[in-house]
Chain A
Amino acid sequence: MKHTYLAKLLFLLLFVCAGFTSAFAQTGAVSGRVLDEKSQGVPGATVLIEGTTLGSSTNADGTYLIQNVPAGAQTLVTSFVGYNAKRQPVTVTAGQTTALPDISLAENTTLLSEAVVVGYGTQRRQDVTGSIATVSEKQFVQGQVINPEQLIQGKVAGVQITSGGGAPGSASQIRIRGGSSLNANNDPLIVIDGVPVDNSENKGVSNPLTLVNPNDIETFTVLKDASATAIYGSRASNGVILITTKKGLSGEKLRVTLNSQASISEKTKTIKVLSADEYRSVVNSYGNASQKALLGTSNTNWQEEIFRKAYTFDNNLSLIGSVGKLPIRASVGNTSQQGILLTNKLVRNTGSISINPMLLDNHLRIDINAKGSWVDNTFADAGAIGNAARFDPTQPIFTGDDARFGGYYEWLNGDRTLNVNGTRNPLAQLNQKRDRSTAKRAIGNIQFDYKFHFLPELRANLNLGYDLLRSNGTTAVPAFAAIEFSNRGANNIYSQKKDNKLLDFYLEYAKQVGEHRFTVLGGYSYQDFIRDQPLDSYQASADGTIIKAAFPFKTQNTLVSFFGRTTYNFKDRYSLTATLRNDGSSRFPTGNKFGLFPAVGLAWRVKEESFLKNTNLLSDLKLRVGYGVTGQQDIEGAAGNYPFLARYTYGEASASYQFGNEYVMTLRSEGYNTGLKWEETTTYNAGLDYGFLDGRISGAIDVYVRRTDDLLAKVAPQALTNLTNEIITNIGSLENKGIEFSLNTNPVRTNDLNLNLNFNATYNENKITSLGNTLPDFQGYAVGGIGGGVGSNIQVNSVGYTANSFYVQKQVYDANGRPIEGLYADLNGDGKSTIDDRYRYKSPVPKVTLGFGSNATYKKIDLAFTMRANLGNYVYNNINSQQAALSGISTNGFLQNLTPDFYNTNFRGYQLFSDYYVENASFLRMDNITVGYNLRTFAENKSNIRVTAAVQNVFTITKYSGLDPEISSGIDNNFYPRPRTFTLGLNLGF
């Protein structure tokens, strides 16, 4: 079970390739053209010989040619996303090309017979009982998209994707129907071509998904409710995102596509701070003598200095089709993206190959996918953003006479030594720090799907996958730089190795008896994760002197699962899906390792009943109900991989203790919980899929309740009972309730003009319903660290409130509406103003999220846009709370700038816990507008050129006073601004 199957995989690969040399005689070809309702050729439609993988995608003009089709009677199935599929009988003659009449496709957005990717297989959409949303290439967000998850931002009800800021490759927070956990992981499971990928923290990579090229992706399928996700039991509590990459078809002609984009990005605005003159006047009127003496004579706009116009170039070349009978797709991509913050850059090279041969009379299908990427990051110290807003605008960038710190102006003490507390010069911070990393990731799998010769209804599927990551990085700072002055510079290195393996095996039996269709599936899954960081903690000065020796870290965890699923369908009207999964995790103690997760879903296609069958207005109506339990065991971030073992940790040399003349290294006993078990989320879902006017209006409505019990939360154990003060414990419950609504319409459909509009809305309410035993005056568990006070937290997890609610004091205002400094409502009525007067006020989580998009085509021009809105989300303006009080201008012998909010408050001291700083951050954002123009007349209609122009982050409407209202943590501090990006693109296919 160790590494042997990798060798096996290689061997099989060789063997499979060898298998293709044998050609089959007695074949012919089929050709034709696929048209839409306007009699225009449909490019990219799939044309398939039924029961085989022989097929093709149509060319730019809608024509296709399928070769090597066995002679005799065949059925040609033509399908395309957004259109009803068509079946056409054809008799193929050996050695000839049979020309078929034009096939006209009718548009339909509900696509009932479309195959939907579900866990471990596909289902017909009409049979699906769970809440599943599919987004395919046509609906993807366009423009400059570097991270795959951004392709579906704002496109799916119930899925909230918040980018971490404007840095290239920064991590997004993805939440499906709110977070179901407090301290365990809240990220959905992401499965790429059947391989659940490791999305945990990577050294040297901000966002592990950056390592997948968005251009390789064909569809996203989002599994939202438990009846859909339960098949992934152990890791499905936060929903599942299935990513399917593009694949070639057998018999398809090889086609080449070239995608090229060039972008320019720039900041939209900067944090409002006082100008040099305004600042001088404030210090001169309010400051003391020593503060006035520190003022300089320059006028520096620090924020203008640290940002730049950034360029991005993105080129992708792909090859799709078949070589002989072997379907193949291969692609290479190169992306070079600058960040708008000086020095920041990401360079990515990707390659992918997928081959999908059929062997043994089409009984054995083999899918081989391999994706590799190589990313070089140049990180910029984002602390420079906050420092630029803080740095005294009356000081120059360079001193002109003092060359000690590379010539940069830095705060000094009275004796002209470096003031170590001073705000560091943000330009020096960027230019003197070289922070680079290289990450290489390989994701791949080989999947065998075998239809038994003696029993074709029985299918065996074996999937062997891997997800490997190698990364390393260096941070170099010269000895003279102020940022690392006390360490005499830096020359740090780090590295990480991840080896994740997967084995899935299942058997499925599918049978139709009269009007009864059923499937039974049983399987086994094994996953193993190893992370190795040999250079942890290593720190050296610029000359290489070791400051801290490396302290290696390695960890492993394993999941073993047994699962089963049965589906039953009667008369194509009544569907049932029942799932059972038994999951074992190495993170729990013996006896608690396994959790049992059942789910059941029912669907009723009401439209098919006789009383609705003849209604033309209504084209689809399906009711769905589902119930299921999913498990959560991903507590590595909060408790590591061995939270139940009595164990000891070695201390590093820098944390030794003196015994006489020796320094003794230490061994620390760690806290542990021998009673840990699975956290369980129970989901109830009821949904309705609807369609009107032959699908011109369609969508779904879902209501859900998700209750998490045995919540894995870090809480205080009884003092003295454990070897830590906070331990992960199964305690309490949490609930998410919500409604989702989606609507797709096609209001205008003429020969020249086609307009599609889609809209989705989600209402979600998150509430902690229990944290074990509580007392009336217990405030809950503080979270959400802020700047301005070390160890100060602004948020709290308390029973009866949304997770991460702000916990603040109620500001009292004067008659003019100005906040009165230090005066807060005595909410507990004890006559004193203490921290017990704080109250829970709002949270960073939006109550309502809206997405609105449109695709319009007018002749050869197309236009698409995506808008998003979040309503009811609040942000703590940590910039103002730290920089709008007079005491902020000077501490420890240096000056700091203020924001103009000081003019509103006139606060002398910090009022960090005032609810004045918690602001409504609801917003409406135009994410993206793209215009495209198709030139299809090139090279006798065989080729296609498309040019596009896109603008991203076009505008944002909000009342929030800070830079950007969309901050997932809800704490606005040091935020890397999202740039506005203009992109020109060229798409060439031949």
Chain B
Amino acid sequence: MKKTFVRGFATLSVAASLLTAATSCVGDLDREPFNEVTSDVVYADPANYKMVLAKLYAGLALSGQTGPSGKPDLSGVDEGFSNYVRQYWSIQELPTDEAVIAWGDDGLQDYHLMNWTSNNPFIRAMYNRIAYQISACNEFIRESTDEKLSGRGITGVNADNIRKYRAEARFLRALSYFHSMDLFGNPPFATENDQVGSFQPRQIPRAELFSYIESELKAIENDLVDARANQYARADKAAAWMLLSKMYLNAEVYTGTPRYTDAITYSSKVINAGYMLQKTATPVSSAYGRNFLADNNTSPEVIFPVAFDGEFTKGYGGTTFIIHAGIVGSMPAAAFGMDGGWGGTRTTSAFFKLFPDTAADRRGRFYTKGQTLEIDNLTEATNGLGVVKFKNITSTGAAGKNLTFPDTDFPMFRLSDAYLTYAEAVLRGGTGGNAGQALTYVNELRTRAYGNSTAGNISASQLTLDFILDERGRELHWEGHRRTDLIRFKKFTTASYLWPWKGGVKEGRAVSDNLNVFPIPSTDLVANPGLKQNPGY
């Protein structure tokens, strides 16, 4: 009796287990994530669009999904290094007279020595960051078309808002394509019409890319929020105008055809949009200096910032890098609202000499104690003067929320740049503006720089192109414009302007013109056989 029962039970339990197993378990191979969400779930809810848009902006400010680090967007590179603003700052400033860096990180010295190759990890990191940003924008733009929204039943205010988000995503994509065009010349190209993972991007000629960005920026003009009417740190019409005016100013470099009249048109649109220079100094800061402090979000002259915050937007890139790295030698970190320096970035004597009188011109603030003017050794942080500009203290002198991760925003576009663009375009023969206005704008900047004194003002005859380049250095240094400016003035590679260690020698030397664009990284040449390397690499 007992045996029969046991046997029966054994057979039964085996059969039962088998049955349940065979029927349900192959289906168990379709597992869904617990913490992540699939794409269709994300876009079904209108509230999520804003979070995806926030990521596109954060693509400029952060390195990943954990602040300050931990879930990086990019791999194969140190997460802190992979940040957009940090990369962009480095690639625009380190190869120029404005900045040198002490660190021996693989390939970093190549920037100032101008001996980079297609295997340079920093160039690759910049390239990958730009490509990542464009791909993320493409994905959002693809998923937020009117057809898709109505297909998901999203209408009314929600749909109107998402339409604005989509225009901003297109602006951010245009911005990154502008960087790509400026840095890499003929980069690969893809739009929202190319599906993830299933196509081979073509290489777009620089001039064609120029037209594409131009058409994009003009196409979104109506959908973007009016200048100064959007939430802080989000792009508006003026951001698009400013980007257009910068493109037109450099159009000859990109396409061979000058567009100075357009540069005047669009810089004027920006200037007339209601921005004003910050003209009030405080006991702890000059009026000019307030644009680079922890409360620079209140500045009336910032057109498009990349926002950082000591509590909510933390990373090792952006202003965390710019401020930390710039604290060298005996510079007192506390005076910068920071808990220490990273002993990295200084400037060359060539840049220092752009300031005839650093006492009068409030923009020329250098740290000299224990620093040498001339640089014997690039990797020695006490060689070269420190630059005192970005700080994590407010205009009343209070330190930012966090001594490691500053609240200071990075001013990507500032009114001064529009003024100087206008002046330069007029000088270069653009129409629609006039020389008198150009001089007024320049002197407005100089008056502020000299502490509301006209002592530094210049005459019409002094307003030359060379003066403009120097003035751009004085006004916009360490804001990520220098390399583009030097190229436009044909001084980046030539012997017409030498700075210490240009081309890898202490006294400076001319280098090959092919260095005006960076190489396409070898990793992408391998991945995409349709790409052709830029000349000379």
Chain B residues near A548 (CB, 8 Å)?
66
A657, B233: Cβ atoms under 8 Å? yes
B197, A486: Cβ atoms under 8 Å? no
Which of B99-107, B209-217, B355-363 contacts its partner?
Answer: B99-107
Q: Separation in Å of the A43 CB from the closest CB of chain B?
A: 37
**Is B21 interfacial (CB 8 A cutoff)?**
yes
| A665 nearest in chain B by CB position | B51
User: CB within 8 Å of B: which of A770-823?
Assistant: 772-775, 777-779, 781-782, 785, 788-793
A660, B232: Cβ atoms under 8 Å? yes
Q: How far is the CA of A256 from the CA of B274 in the complex (A)?
A: 91
Chain B residues near A835 (CB, 8 Å)?
106-107, 110, 117, 119-120
Q: Separation in Å of the A530 CB from the closest CB of chain B?
A: 9
| B67 nearest in chain A by CB position | A654
A721, B106: Cβ atoms under 8 Å? no
Given contacts A419-B340, A726-B75, contact A642 B31 (CB under 8 A): yes
**Is B89 interfacial (CB 8 A cutoff)?**
no
Given contacts A665-B51, A789-B104, contact A723 B132 (CB under 8 A): yes
Chain B residues near A649 (CB, 8 Å)?
35-36, 65, 71
**Is B447 interfacial (CB 8 A cutoff)?**
no
Q: How far is the CA of A420 from the CA of B320 in the complex (A)?
A: 14
Chain A residues near B380 (CB, 8 Å)?
887
Q: How far is the CA of A61 from the CA of B307 in the complex (A)?
A: 81
User: CB within 8 Å of A: which of B173-218?
Assistant: 187-190, 194, 196-201
Q: How far is the CA of A558 from the CA of B31 in the complex (A)?
A: 8
A774, B42: Cβ atoms under 8 Å? no
| B81 nearest in chain A by CB position | A791
B190, A654: Cβ atoms under 8 Å? no
Among B30, B65, B116, residue most surrounded by chain A Cβ atoms (within 10 Å): B65
**Is A557 interfacial (CB 8 A cutoff)?**
yes
Chain B residues near A772 (CB, 8 Å)?
526
**Is A718 interfacial (CB 8 A cutoff)?**
yes
B312, A558: Cβ atoms under 8 Å? no
Chain B residues near A593 (CB, 8 Å)?
29
| A460 nearest in chain B by CB position | B14
Given contacts A648-B42, A719-B527, A912-B104, contact A642 B33 (CB under 8 A): yes
Given contacts A719-B128, A909-B379, contact A647 B28 (CB under 8 A): no
**Is A891 interfacial (CB 8 A cutoff)?**
yes
Chain B residues near A526 (CB, 8 Å)?
21, 25, 28
Given contacts A646-B39, A647-B37, A725-B74, contact A891 B381 (CB under 8 A): yes
A723, B526: Cβ atoms under 8 Å? no
**Is B17 interfacial (CB 8 A cutoff)?**
yes
Chain B residues near A359 (CB, 8 Å)?
6
Interface string of A473-500 (1 = CB under 8 A from B): 0000000000000100000000000000
B526, A716: Cβ atoms under 8 Å? yes
Which of A398-406, A612-620, A672-680, A742-750 contacts its partner?
Answer: A672-680
B25, A560: Cβ atoms under 8 Å? yes
Chain B residues near A659 (CB, 8 Å)?
50, 54, 57, 231-234
Chain A residues near B26 (CB, 8 Å)?
560, 584
Interface string of B135-146 (1 = CB under 8 A from A): 110111000000
**Is B507 interfacial (CB 8 A cutoff)?**
no
Which of A93-101, A409-417, A760-768 contacts its partner?
Answer: A409-417
Given contacts A666-B51, A666-B58, A719-B131, contact A656 B104 (CB under 8 A): no
Given contacts A668-B73, A669-B52, A774-B526, contact A590 B128 (CB under 8 A): no
| B143 nearest in chain A by CB position | A669
Given contacts A590-B30, A646-B39, contact A724 B201 (CB under 8 A): no
Given contacts A655-B58, A657-B233, contact A719 B14 (CB under 8 A): no
Interface string of A620-636 (1 = CB under 8 A from B): 00000000000000000
State which of B28, B39, B201, B341 has its C-beta within 8 Å of the C-beta of A892.
B341
Q: How far is the CA of A717 from the CA of B80 in the complex (A)?
A: 22
State which of A462, A556, A653, A726 has its C-beta within 8 Å of the C-beta of B31.
A556
Interface string of A23-35 (1 = CB under 8 A from B): 0000000000000
Q: Separation in Å of the A214 CB from the closest CB of chain B?
A: 33
**Is A637 interfacial (CB 8 A cutoff)?**
no
Q: Separation in Å of the B518 CB from the closest CB of chain A?
A: 14
State which of A460, A651, A672, A778 has its C-beta within 8 Å of the C-beta of B58.
A651
State which of B6, B121, B197, B403 has its C-beta within 8 Å of the C-beta of A722.
B197
**Is A554 interfacial (CB 8 A cutoff)?**
yes
Interface string of A904-929 (1 = CB under 8 A from B): 00000110110000000000000000
Which of B326-334, B385-393, B484-492 contacts its partner?
Answer: B326-334
**Is A131 interfacial (CB 8 A cutoff)?**
no
A725, B527: Cβ atoms under 8 Å? no
| B58 nearest in chain A by CB position | A657
**Is B273 interfacial (CB 8 A cutoff)?**
no
Give the interface size class of chain B.
35 or more
Chain B residues near A669 (CB, 8 Å)?
39, 52, 55, 136, 139-140
**Is B118 interfacial (CB 8 A cutoff)?**
yes
B28, A560: Cβ atoms under 8 Å? yes
State which of A5, A364, A652, A657 has its C-beta within 8 Å of the C-beta of B54.
A657
**Is A658 interfacial (CB 8 A cutoff)?**
yes
Q: How far is the CA of A261 from the CA of B388 in the complex (A)?
A: 64
Interface string of B44-56 (1 = CB under 8 A from A): 0000101111110
B188, A775: Cβ atoms under 8 Å? no
B139, A554: Cβ atoms under 8 Å? no
A555, B34: Cβ atoms under 8 Å? yes
State which of A15, A673, A773, A790 has its C-beta within 8 Å of the C-beta of B526.
A773
A892, B343: Cβ atoms under 8 Å? yes
**Is B134 interfacial (CB 8 A cutoff)?**
yes
**Is B444 interfacial (CB 8 A cutoff)?**
no
User: CB within 8 Å of A: which of B403-445?
Assistant: 403-404
B61, A450: Cβ atoms under 8 Å? no
A486, B57: Cβ atoms under 8 Å? no
Q: How far is the CA of A657 from the CA of B56 in the complex (A)?
A: 9
**Is B247 interfacial (CB 8 A cutoff)?**
no
**Is A14 interfacial (CB 8 A cutoff)?**
no
**Is A421 interfacial (CB 8 A cutoff)?**
yes
B343, A716: Cβ atoms under 8 Å? no
Q: How far is the CA of A553 from the CA of B36 in the complex (A)?
A: 9
| A559 nearest in chain B by CB position | B29
Q: How far is the CA of A390 from the CA of B39 in the complex (A)?
A: 49
Given contacts A717-B197, A835-B120, contact A777 B36 (CB under 8 A): no
Interface string of B229-263 (1 = CB under 8 A from A): 00111100000000000000000000000000000
Chain B residues near A715 (CB, 8 Å)?
527
Given contacts A460-B14, A835-B120, contact A788 B104 (CB under 8 A): yes
A-B contact pairs, 12 of them (CB 8 A): A360-B10, A558-B31, A646-B196, A652-B71, A669-B52, A716-B527, A719-B201, A719-B524, A724-B74, A789-B106, A791-B78, A913-B106
Report, nearest first, the 5 A-B pairs whose CB atoms are least far apart. Answer: A791-B78, A654-B67, A660-B231, A420-B340, A666-B55
Additional pairs, 18, CB under 8 Å, beyond known A584-B26, A714-B76: A450-B10, A460-B14, A590-B30, A642-B33, A654-B311, A659-B233, A663-B313, A668-B73, A717-B197, A718-B528, A721-B190, A723-B135, A726-B75, A772-B526, A789-B108, A792-B104, A834-B116, A910-B379
Binding site for B on A (CB under 8 A): 1, 5, 8, 12, 15, 19, 22, 288, 290, 359-360, 364, 413-415, 417-421, 448, 450, 453, 460, 462, 464, 486, 503, 505, 524, 526, 528, 537, 548, 551-558, 560, 584-586, 590, 593, 641-642, 645-670, 672-675, 714-726, 772-775, 777-779, 781-782, 785, 788-793, 832-836, 887, 891-893, 909-910, 912-913
Binding site for A on B (CB under 8 A): 2-3, 6-7, 9-10, 13-14, 17-18, 20-22, 24-26, 28-39, 42, 48, 50-55, 57-58, 61-62, 64-68, 70-71, 73-78, 80-81, 102-108, 110, 115-121, 127-128, 131-132, 134-136, 138-140, 187-190, 194, 196-201, 231-234, 297, 307, 309, 311-315, 330, 332-334, 339-343, 370, 377, 379-382, 403-404, 522-529
